[in-house]
Amino acid sequence: MEGKVLELATIKDSIGKRSQPVDCSPKYAAETVNFPGCSPSRCGRLISDRVVTPHEARTLRHMASRAFALTGGSGGGASILDLHSGALSKGSAFVNVYRLPEAHDLLSEDDLRLYTGVKRRVAQLVTEHFGLEGGVLHLAKPTFFSRITAAPARTVHDQYWHSHVDKETYPSFHYTSLVYLNDYGSDFTGGRFIYNDKDANRTIEPKAGRVSAFTAGWENPHQVEPVADGVRFALTVAFTCDASQAISDPAHAGAAPSGPSR
């Protein structure tokens, strides 16, 4: 309902695990039942500040920042780095970061171990919370770092603030998670995550190390409010129940994974 705002998580909160169940949309329920062990016991959202440490979040942010510094990122405020396809924002387009000579020493083996380890922990959190069988979740594309500034949008791809449903934007998604890499209120203003429910908008204030996850169907329309000042960093980690849509982790530092860039 327009005008009514409820807080799910603020920057001051220290959350072991907080959840909000919602009824699965019929379309989402009908699809996930086709994947044994991957249907949620109940749809909804969860938040935890115990899966990723603030130090790990800062390390991931620095890793992404080194890549964005190579190209300057998007000219329209919203930049991405996808370590799987190699896609890196440059102006109004993308380049393959693995084809840039200056990116040869961009990632260390320790960087990639942290990156893949964080994703495994997030997958375990999602598996346990939604009552899934072990091993049924597969990493889905796009899984990427985002950097958002207050710069005005230049293309439609920069307009990240519109309400949307992940299943419509990315049909392979079944569960979406976000790992926030810096702090609302001190590193940036604006940029809260917002669930657009019929009775109210429910907000999450990003915090370094905070993990937010949700079922990716029509039960969870959401948006990010425009960043007003500063720079907001996050890592989006998406999961699919469909093994045919799975992607692999980057093989090792400095090696381009298979598949085209986007």
Residues 6+ apart with CB under 8 A from 16: 48, 49, 50
Q: Which two tokens stand for residue 128?
A: 């346990």
For 8, 70, 71, 129, the CA distances from 215, given in Å and listed in that order, are: 16, 34, 34, 11
For 4, 56, 70, 170, the CA distances from 206, given in Å and listed in that order, are: 20, 15, 26, 23
CATH superfamily of the domain spanning 5-245: q2cbj1_9rhob like domain (2.60.120.620)
**Distance in angstroms (rounded) separating the CA atoms of residues 163 and 118:** 27
Which of the four pLDDT bands, split at 50, 70 and 90, describes residue 176? very high
Across the range 4-9, mean pLDDT stands at 96
Query: Tens digit of pLDDT for each residue in 16-33?
Result: 999 999 999 999 999 999
**Distance in angstroms (rounded) separating the CA atoms of residues 68 and 256:** 17
**Distance in angstroms (rounded) separating the CA atoms of residues 233 and 9:** 17
**Distance in angstroms (rounded) separating the CA atoms of residues 236 and 224:** 13
Contact 89, 152 (CB under 8 A): no
Contact 257, 84 (CB under 8 A): yes
**Distance in angstroms (rounded) separating the CA atoms of residues 132 and 39:** 7
Across the range 23-48, mean pLDDT stands at 98
Instruction: Give me the active site residues, please.
Output: 232
**Distance in angstroms (rounded) separating the CA atoms of residues 86 and 63:** 14
Annotated domain spans of the chain: 5-245
Helix (H) or strand (E) holding 64: helix 54-71
Query: Tens digit of pLDDT for each residue in 178-220?
Result: 999 999 999 999 999 999 999 999 999 999 999 999 999 999 9
Q: Return the amino acid letter for 48.
A: S
Contact 130, 214 (CB under 8 A): no
pLDDT at site 257: 41
- Is 142 a residue whose pLDDT tops 50? yes
